[in-house]
A and B are shown apart, each in its own frame.
Chain A
Amino acid sequence: MSEVEKAKITRRKYLKYGGGIIAVAVVAAAGYGIYEATKPKAIPKLTLMMFSSPETDWIEKMAQTYREKTGVDITFDVISRETYWDKLDTTLLSKSPEVDIVTMHAPMLGDWAKVGAVEPLSRYLEDSKLFPYDVNSYLPAAIEGAKYKGDVYGLPLWFSTEFMYYRKDLIKDPSRLKTWDGFLETAKEFTKSNNPNSPTDYGTTMYGKKHIEQVMEWVVYYWSFGGRFPTFNSPEAIKALQFYVDLFLKHKVVPPDADTYVWEHTFNAFKFEKVALSINWDANYLANWHETFGDNLGIMPTPAVSGGNPAAYSLTWVIAINAFSKMKEEAFKFISWLTADPDAVHTVSGLGLPVPSTYILAPDVLKAKPHWELMVEYVRKWGFAELAIPGWKKVREILIVHLADAMAGTATPEEALNAAQKEVDAALEG
């Protein structure tokens, strides 16, 4: 066979194979097109990203109610508490439309609003078809905290504070828990290495892991000792960190691996009677501590320095819409229903979620949830909140690293906070 004939055969072979691939591709595309055109209309579906918590369980129940009411399906993307913030970062930075609704702390909203990653909501709130509720039902402080440059970027979803929980059956006189010195003495009394007759292994526990939860615990100490944002290396702040670190390194009134603890560890340590005291979130009351201890569960404000005031950390969670979502109006209808519809707010607050709404300040609601009555009282008297400014997320991340250095003893509290302050100043300037 000549070279020309061989070449013709080779060319025919390529045409045959290439043509075959193209034909298969065209048929497949046509088939898919017919399928898409004839399949039944999908149920509108929203995706809500939240972190694993009792609050998420309550909101999932509300989503079922919403589906029955409107036919809109809400899928929950529940992320572990330890990795939620990074998942939030990657989702919003990637401009992914896969998640429609996100939740976050109000202080973080400024960072995302500044870059246009969350949807401004003021125009939705002004549209009575999309928002047929009373905008004044949101507590003023809560809705103000959800604004950036005058525009609302999230709706207040719930607010939290930290209580001093204690066991009434173990601690007959809780008045000594009003001061940090009294708290320390009580913790020592309930630590077996100090007192072999102690009914608990340790006096208390802490959110010691190199994680944002530690920052959120430590700021209670910081504020009550007299520290004020954004100055973290003031003498008061250093005293606060010294006291905090000494609980772990010097007095050993917390478990020796408390520097690996996150919420689950602190929750279980108190629940299973390993510790007598716990500075912890209000949600723990309903997430089983009250059920476990009943009337033996005591709640009071977190301690204060002698002659000073307690510090009631006021943390508002907001629910916001991903600016890259393809279903913004549907998403807004759900989040506004959840936070402003009187029936929805009554139902979700009945489950346990303290929505920052005038509806839950009604006497009958507060009476049904006695710890909320205390929470409202403490926040009104001694409440403080983190700064809701761009750059605040970075400030928290800076504190995570330097608090961990102090906890490990590789830096003194003064060294750690001086180093932190340098970075905080640079972060807030930028």
Chain B
Amino acid sequence: MKRRDPLRYLLVLPAVATICFMILFPSALSFWLSLHDITRSTFFGSPSFVGIKNYIIVLSDPFFLDALRVSLGWILLTTSVELLLGLGLSLLLNQDVPYKGAFTVLLLTPMVISPVTAAYMFSLLLNNLFGPVSILLERVGLRASLLGDPSLAFFTVAAIDVWQWTPFMFLLIYTGVRAIPAEPIEAAIVDGASPWQLFARVTLPLLKPIIAVALIFRMMDSFKTFDMIYVLTGGGPGRTTETLNIYIYRMFSRGDIGLMLALCTMLLAIIPMISRLYMRLLYGAPR
């Protein structure tokens, strides 16, 4: 039997060690600590072991369910709109449009700005006293507090997120569009397919793998969104933009570190479930 060259194990050792020390170990430690009563007062002492008490407290907090609902709504809204816009832009820019290069550069610009900078920029633009957007809206008779109104704030912040991350979706999907071979398209045209049939029966199925990757990436990123929401609204008005990340942050600010770790551990379970749901929606149930 051929001896396996041990060099292969040495070469993957740095990556494995990194994963262990930076992901597995902290996750395991977080879980262990979440079984203790850790607060700011007990942090430096010997926190007592409380088992799953922290998990029970979190799960029975109605505000946790509110935050979960806001998070799920956030992911669904932002990723769906970003997908639709990204797909549309990819198909558009795959045609011969004038100034395609310049338009693509402008399109990608929001993605290179840091989310905090973008949030501060929009908080100034949308300010009701000084912001040009609010002033323009007032001039056309629309008095609205886009960030201050509880019924609008969520959608405003989501729109800013869409503005920033649609280019990312576009970039990924565009590579897929460019990679579609010409033959199936030509064959479908020869067979008399309408533009809609061409898109639905040929282009879209070929793009499914890249769309799945783009959605998973964006979904994971979207779930992690904290900075933009915190700068713009702090999770307010009320709790209308309080996602799970903002809720976790509030727990940390209060010094309820054990509760915070319990929630983080639960998120580790929630995120893969959402990923599976997306994959099922795209590919159906596994055979």
Q: A-side interface residues toward B, CB under 8 Å?
A: 14, 82, 85-86, 89, 93, 111, 114-117, 201-202, 208-211, 255-260, 265, 268-269, 272, 274, 390-391, 393-394, 397-398, 400-401, 404-405, 407-411, 430
* A-B CB contacts (within 8 Å), total count: 115
Interface residues of B (CB under 8 A from A): 7, 39-41, 43-45, 123, 126-130, 134, 143-150, 230-240, 249-250, 252-255
Question: Hey, which chain B residues are within 8 Å of A201, CB to CB?
Answer: 129
A398, B253: Cα distance in complex, Å: 10
Nearest CB on A from B2, distance (A): 11
24 contacts between A and B (CB under 8 A): A86-B252, A89-B253, A111-B255, A117-B44, A209-B233, A210-B236, A255-B145, A256-B128, A257-B127, A257-B146, A257-B148, A259-B148, A260-B123, A260-B233, A260-B234, A272-B129, A393-B40, A397-B253, A400-B250, A405-B238, A407-B237, A408-B150, A408-B239, A430-B41
Q: Report the nearest B residue to A3, measured CB to CB.
A: B3
Q: Is the CB of B129 within 8 A of A408?
A: no
* Bound form: Cα–Cα A272–B127 in Å: 14
* 20 new A-B contacts at CB < 8 Å, known A257-B148, A272-B130, A430-B39: A89-B255, A93-B43, A114-B41, A115-B43, A209-B234, A210-B234, A210-B235, A210-B236, A256-B143, A256-B145, A257-B126, A259-B237, A260-B123, A260-B147, A260-B234, A268-B130, A393-B40, A394-B254, A394-B255, A398-B254
Contacts of A397 in B (CB 8 A): 250, 253-255
Q: What's the least CB distance linking B22 to chain A, in Å? A: 17
- A201 vs B138: C-alpha distance when bound (angstroms): 13
- Find B129's partner among A93, A116, A211, A255 (CB 8 Å cutoff): A255
The docked-state distance in angstroms from the alpha carbon of A407 to that of B148 is 10
Q: What B residues does A210 contact at CB under 8 A?
A: 233-237
A256 x B149 contact (CB < 8 A)? yes
Per DSSP, chain A at the interface is: helix
Q: Are B250 and A115 in contact (CB under 8 A)?
A: no
- With beta carbons under 8 angstroms apart, the residue of A265, A272, A405, A430 that contacts B239 is A405
Contacts of A116 in B (CB 8 A): 44
A411 to B130, CA, bound (A): 30
A427, closest chain B residue (CB): B254
Q: A210-B235, A408-B240, A410-B238 are in contact. Are A257 and B253 (CB under 8 A)?
A: no
For A268, list chain B residues within 8 Å (CB).
129-130
In whole angstroms, how far apart are the Cα atoms of A268 and B239 in the complex?
A: 27
Residues of B within 8 A of A260 (CB): 123, 147-148, 232-234, 236
Please give me the residue from chain A that is nearest to B236 by CB atom: A210
* Complex Cα gap A211–B253 (Å): 11
Q: How far is the CB of A254 from chain B (nearest CB, A)?
A: 10
Would A258 and B148 be within 8 Å (CB), given that A210-B234, A265-B127, A268-B130 are in contact? yes
Q: Are B252 and A89 in contact (CB under 8 A)?
A: yes
The residues of B that contact A259 with a CB separation of less than 8 Å are 148, 236-237
**Given A260-B148, A397-B250, A410-B150; A93-B232 close (CB under 8 Å):** no
Would you give the shortest CB distance from B82 to chain A, in whole angstroms? 24
- Residues of chain A within 8 A of B239, CB atoms compared: 404-405, 408, 410
Residues of B within 8 A of A405 (CB): 238-239
CB distance from B212 to the nearest CB of A (A): 36
Residue of B nearest to A406 (CB): B238
B-side contacts of A82, CB under 8 Å: 230-231, 234
Q: Is the beta-carbon distance between B129 and A115 smaller than 8 angstroms?
A: no
What residue in chain B is nearest A115 (Cβ atoms)?
A: B44
CA distance A246 to B232 in the complex (A): 23
